[in-house]
Structure 1
Amino acid sequence: MTYRSKSVKEYWAARWEDIPADVPMDNAHVYPLKYAEMTVQDKNGRILEAGCGAGRILRYYHQHGYDIVGMDYIDVAISKLKAIDSTLQVETGDITALRYPDQSFKYVLAFGLYHNLEHDLDKAIGETCRVLERGGAVCASFRADNIQTRMTDWLAECKSKKAGKTAGPRAFHKMNLSKDEFARLFTRAGFLIEFIGPVENMPFLYKFAAFRASAHKRFDENKARSEGYRLSWLGRHLQNLLMRLMPDQFCNIYVLIARKT
């Protein structure tokens, strides 16, 4: 578990309050769109994006004519998406108690969702299975329990101490799992795993401006979320070396694609 000064809900409410709704993601070579495209094979299949956040994946599929519903438990994220495009199907909801009937969707996309749950993780994945059609697929990511996560948490702790934010009680922030632990959750719920692997969402070196691409030196979260977190030539080569040598230690998430049996 990772603990911070804010609860997970406070963290996401503040984060989505601070940035505008996303533009549609435009880089299909990076997470998460790369893995969504590996999953969604049928344009006529209905999609649920659970934990749609600021909307980069939701808006990508919506603009390409897919039937996609976006759900998030942070009201401000949903309000911003409704304001920017009234034709989006979006609503506030809870992954542990979905309102949809059984077998409502062919695909569920859940990027960075399940690791926000301190409790009821099996219940959330069970609900995901329930609303999927037989043969339908889920694509999900989960925070990795590894060296990179520990370094990221250490840097965040140092930043909080510098800002004087560590004096109060600590609140649950994220759950971190190994690849095998993540896989077992879905196998236990009745899924057949087709892919699971280490992935870089934000590469560790991106946290340091010196290693970012020139257009990313000044951090713009919406830009990074649309284009991917781009590194300089040196940053890419160093990050690639780390991923070649120890992919399970220098990824920051695992991505899983599984099918309901």
Structure 2
Amino acid sequence: MPQTNDTNRQESARYDSTRRAWEDIWDGANVAVELDAVQYRRAQATLNAYLPYLNRDDLILEAGSGLSAVVIEMKRMGYEVIGLDYAENALHVSRDYEPGLKLVAGDVHKLPFAENSLGAYLSFGVLEHFEHGMQPGLLEAYRILKPGGVLVLTIPYPNIVWRLAQWKRQRAGQQLINEDFYESTYSRKALVANVEQAGFDLIKAIPTSHSFTFWGLGGPFQAEGYYQTSFMAELFGDLSQIAAPWLFNFMTLIIASKPGKTQAAPSTH
């Protein structure tokens, strides 16, 4: 059924309010703190999972780069990375911190790059924030990637803790969706289906960040610091990753490629 004008207006309003929410978030954030978070064990595990699929000689885009912590980290590792975000204030803060960054203001649904021009597209917790779904963003990623180019994507997973929280909110008669800040989760099946529908060939779907699921329970699972997990959260995360990897993961990491030339086998770092 085609969308009504009222539905389109509602989605447009939510889109704008989500953008404003991120601008507010980045106004209150700190690049140095974000860089410290990139060194967290869960972040490094994700980084090490996808880095072998990236080519240092290709231009890599992080779409929705925020305060550019990943851009800065990868630049220091010798990768050629450009960051893009629609929250321009985040780009100004990033460049003030590290003036040599390649950054551009733009929308993930209308990227300012030519077809078949980039070697990799990175997206970390971005495409779940759009009420119209992830297809428009994925199709743009497909358009700008070279044949054989790599898609790296992380999306929140509806793990058992999240489902329990949603059930409790529903029982209490509370809204399940924030009016100003849209966010969704995707099951492994739904996420893979979206990626393949956009034309990509799946390489890997990896459950990640199990310790952060436990962080969300609070108390002994939280350590002092910015979203820092405790020893207990790390322990429970390790155990759940072994015993029930698709029950307690906070994020799903997708590595996929645009059909074309054969993707080189992963290298070791």
Within the alignment, does 1:13 sit opposite 2:35 as a pair?
no
Could you report, residue by residue, the CA deviation over 1:99-137 in whole angstroms, capped at 9, with x for unpaired residues? 100112101111111111111521210110011010010
Given that residues 211 and 237 in structure 2 are in contact (C-alpha distance below 8 angstroms), is that contact kept between their aligned partners in structure 1? no
Q: Give 3-state SS (helix, strand or coil) of 1:249's partner.
A: coil
Counterpart of 1:52, as a letter, is S
Aligned to 2:252: 254
Aligned to 2:192: 183
Give me the CA root mean square deviation: 2.8
Within the alignment, does 1:206 sit opposite 2:215 as a pair?
yes
Match of 1:52 among 59, 62, 65: 65
Q: How many residues get paired?
A: 236
Match of 2:237 among 204, 229, 239: 239
* 2-structure distance, mates of 1:54, 1:133: 26
Unaligned runs of 5+ residues in structure 2 are 1-13, 260-269
Given that residues 36 and 109 in structure 1 are in contact (C-alpha distance below 8 angstroms), is that contact kept between their aligned partners in structure 2? no
TM-score (norm 1): 0.79
Unaligned runs of 5+ residues in structure 1 are 222-228
User: Percent identity over the alignment?
Assistant: 21
Counterpart of 1:38, as a letter, is P
* 2-structure distance, mates of 1:32, 1:16: 23
* 1-structure distance, mates of 2:86, 2:245: 32
Shift of 1:31: 4.7
Shift of 1:20: 1.1
Shift of 1:240: 2.6
Q: Which has the higher contact order (CA 8 A, sep 6+)?
A: 1
Given that residues 211 and 231 in structure 1 are in contact (C-alpha distance below 8 angstroms), is that contact kept between their aligned partners in structure 2? yes
Q: Give 3-state SS (helix, strand or coil) of 2:247's partner.
A: helix
* 2-structure distance, mates of 1:156, 1:14: 26
Shift of 1:241: 2.9
Shift of 1:26: 3.8
Shift of 1:205: 2.1
TM-score (norm 2): 0.77
Given that residues 50 and 109 in structure 1 are in contact (C-alpha distance below 8 angstroms), is that contact kept between their aligned partners in structure 2? yes
Shift of 1:94: 0.7
